[in-house]
A and B are shown apart, each in its own frame.
Chain A
């Protein structure tokens, strides 16, 4: 949606780190999320961060949140071919209505 913006494409070499960026406009956002969508599949929640945090790490995933600039990023370490998918940034503000970005298509090349 227009409240959440992402770059559309990212190409990364296998083994390198991927960084996907997202900006949002709603200052009352409570939670921010990263979802992964593989071809023909529904959305899978990868990770989320509460708005009073600035970083969260979960295995190969690192989420950074700059609340002042309303900027969220997802770093995937040691990117693998199985990480090729569309990644959606989403935000909610307490009523659990998720607002999604348009998605970033990540292509991992050998």
Chain B
């Protein structure tokens, strides 16, 4: 089974530029997550999709961050404009969880390391 694919692996941009990350979840997984992991901290949930609907985006800085999951499969996360404090690893994860309770495992991609200079 192919894992969660993310691209690019690394990105360096200047402050105030825009950047986009792409995620291809495991086939058939209904739930997709974007996490931000700042160096020395645990991952923080930015947004959670179930199919193509948003379940939770309470911690997404909506003035500069946006995400979409068209057709309930691939997802993109965009930052526009970027700030220095956005330097982090952006992790995408997917899960077969369908919102009806129980426990399912979240599978993580390798992440995109963003450096804002």
Contacts and interface: CB of A to CB of B under 8 A. Distances in A.
Interface of A: 1, 4, 30-31, 40-45, 48, 50, 88, 90, 94-103
B61 interface: no
A85 to B, nearest CB: 14
Interface stretch (B13-21, B64-72, B96-104): B96-104
Contacts of A42: 4, 91, 93, 108-111
Enumerate the 9 nearest inter-chain pairs by beta-carbon distance, A residue then B residue, closest first: A100-B42, A42-B108, A43-B108, A42-B110, A96-B97, A102-B42, A100-B43, A101-B42, A31-B103
B42 A4 contact: yes
Nearest to B55: A95
Interface of B: 4, 31, 33, 40-45, 48, 55-56, 91, 93, 95, 97, 101, 103-111
A101 B43 CA distance: 8
Most buried by B among A40, A43, A101: A43
A69 to B, nearest CB: 21
Given A4-B42, A45-B107, A50-B103, 14 more contacts: A1-B42, A31-B103, A43-B91, A43-B108, A88-B42, A88-B43, A95-B55, A95-B56, A97-B45, A98-B33, A100-B43, A102-B41, A102-B42, A103-B42
